[in-house]
Amino acid sequence: MGRTDRQWGGDDFVKILTGNDLGTGDVIWWAGDGWSRQVGDSVDVGERGDELARAEEAALRVVGAYVIDATVTDEGIRPAHIKDRIRALGPTVRPDLTLKPHDADAGNWVI
């Protein structure tokens, strides 16, 4: 999980980039050298987020890209807002369809 854009500082909040894969519609996260389906692979994009989102959309690699606030905790990267935590976890209609199907506490991560 290399941090190629900017090292995580001691800040509580970081800026990460999310969007949807143009081909599959999957929620994806900017990992510094490409996109990942795992929010834990995200890198801090700092002030470059909007510029990066426009460039990636223009290159047809992502659709609906936007910058969000996130925190870095002992458990990893956690989006600051519930909407983005739900997006990070995956579908909410059935726990077995989430990105953490065997994690009984995954639902608590959203709240």
Q: What is the pLDDT along the chain (111 residues), one digit of tens a residue?
A: 344 344 444 447 899 999 999 999 999 999 999 999 999 999 999 999 999 999 999 999 999 999 999 999 888 899 999 899 988 887 666 666 666 667 766 666 655
Task: Answer whether residue 29 is part of any domain.
Answer: yes
Residue type, position 66, single letter: Y
Question: Which residues span the domain enclosing 61?
Answer: 13-81
Task: Answer whether residue 102 is part of any domain.
Answer: no
Task: Answer whether residue 2 is part of any domain.
Answer: no
Task: Answer whether residue 89 is part of any domain.
Answer: no
Task: Answer whether residue 93 is part of any domain.
Answer: no
Task: Answer whether residue 17 is part of any domain.
Answer: yes
Q: In degrees rounded to 5, what are phi and psi of residue 60?
A: 60, 35
Task: Answer whether residue 111 is part of any domain.
Answer: no
Q: How many domains does the chain have?
A: 1
Task: Answer whether residue 99 is part of any domain.
Answer: no
For 77, half-sphere exposure in the C-beta direction (CA atoms, 13 angstrom radius) is 25
Q: Taking the CA atoms of the chain, what radius of gyration do you get in angstroms?
A: 14
Within 10 A of 37 (CB to CB), how many other CB atoms are there? 15
Q: Are 14 and 8 in contact (CB under 8 A)?
A: yes
